[in-house]
Amino acid sequence: MTDSTPPPISNILTIDVEDWYHLSGLQIRGRGTPRPDILARQLDRLLSLLAEHNCRATFFCLGSSLVNSPHLVQQIAAAGHEIATHGWGHEPIARIGTAAFQDDLKRSLDWLQELLGRPVNGYRAPAFSVGAGQLDEFYDICFEAGLAYDSSVFPIRGRRYGIPDARLEPHVVREGAGRRLVEIPLSATTWLGRQWPVAGGGYWRLMPVRLIVALVTRLNRERRPMVTYLHPYEFDAEPLSATTAAGRSLPSLRHQLRQNLNRGTMYRKLDTLLSTHRFGAVEDYLRDAGL
């Protein structure tokens, strides 16, 4: 008789579900219009790819992007994936402060838990925006809100975000009353004496697929999971149009150019990676790692 126990989940696939047209409009001209039709098209393509690989992922859902299209959240959940929260308004915590963050988190959790009829256990901050000086208060709020994990810390020295001296591997940050809060940092790797981001998004658009595959192998050899973050818009078969989202202007055209650069390679990259390495949702990883 063969042992049918599947091998443990060694890498984590996460998707930040937000409406690119809505957020691009907000970012460029201060107002944005959600395009659930386009988000649905992007999600369909991504969900089909994951189904082909029989891969579960964690989807961090943004309240303000999805409040008028809750069927998209239900579609993701019905496909067997884990639903977590990306908060409500996508405003950087480092800017709005922890009190406003607490309200934003509560609003998103109340909405998602009511919609799904079950607890939501994980959080990711907009653009990894929790500051090093806010971490203590931030973790207290997450723990009190009943979360089991956070995945907002990027251990790099970035232009807009990052906590360069943060721990690299998943670790317990709060514990009590039979519960834990685990931090799942985004993946970074050491090269030439500093930390480099390798977790997804724009970095993956620029990296050749063979390099990404080699990095996952390296992280796993160091007994660390690859923790990725991707977005549905990276899998749209159509070009992204910032001029549709925010009108014709230099910032729009620049944003459009940057966001479409190498975007067409993302589908193939994820397809390859899911063939070479085992990925799963955060909750699967935590269970298998005993965290």
Where do the DSSP E strands lie in the chain? 11-12, 14-17, 58-61, 82-85, 122-123, 149-150, 171-176, 179-183, 188-191, 194-197, 279-280
Tokens representing 200 are 């997804």
CB atoms within 10 A of CB 206: 11
Using rule CB under 5 A, residue 19 touches Zn ion = no
- x/- track of binding to Zn ion for residues 117-156 (CB under 5 A): ---------x------------------------------
Number of residues that bind Zn ion (CB under 5 A): 3
Q: How far is CA 227 from CA 9, 88, 126, 130, 255, in A?
A: 12, 23, 16, 18, 26
SS3 percent helix, strand, coil of the chain, rounded to 5, is 50, 15, 35
* Residue with smaller CB distance to Zn ion, 60 or 149: 60
Q: Among 9-17, 38-46, 77-85, 106-114, which window interacts with Zn ion (CB under 5 A)? A: 9-17
* Residue with smaller CB distance to Zn ion, 89 or 272: 89
* Residue with smaller CB distance to Zn ion, 125 or 166: 125
Alpha carbon distance, N-terminus to C-terminus of the chain: 30
Task: Report the residue number whose CB is nearest to Zn ion.
Answer: 16
* Residue with smaller CB distance to Zn ion, 16 or 183: 16
- What's the one-letter identity of residue 170? P
Q: Among 16-24, 28-36, 216-224, 277-285, which window interacts with Zn ion (CB under 5 A)? A: 16-24
- Least distance from Zn ion to the Cβ atom of residue 16, Å: 4
- Least distance from Zn ion to the Cβ atom of residue 19, Å: 10
- Least distance from Zn ion to the Cβ atom of residue 246, Å: 17
- Least distance from Zn ion to the Cβ atom of residue 90, Å: 6
| HSE, side-chain direction, 13 A CA sphere, residue 23 | 24
Tokens representing 153 are 């810390």
From 10, 12, 16, 150, residue interacting with Zn ion (rule: CB under 5 A): 16
- Least distance from Zn ion to the Cβ atom of residue 221, Å: 30
Q: Among 6-14, 18-26, 28-36, 175-183, which window interacts with Zn ion (CB under 5 A)? A: 18-26
* Contacts of residue 252, Cβ cutoff 8 Å, sequence gap at least 6: 28, 242, 243, 245, 246
Query: How far apart are the C-alpha atoms of 49 and 4, rounded to whole Å?
Result: 24
Which residues here bind Zn ion, judged by CB under 5 A? 16, 18, 126
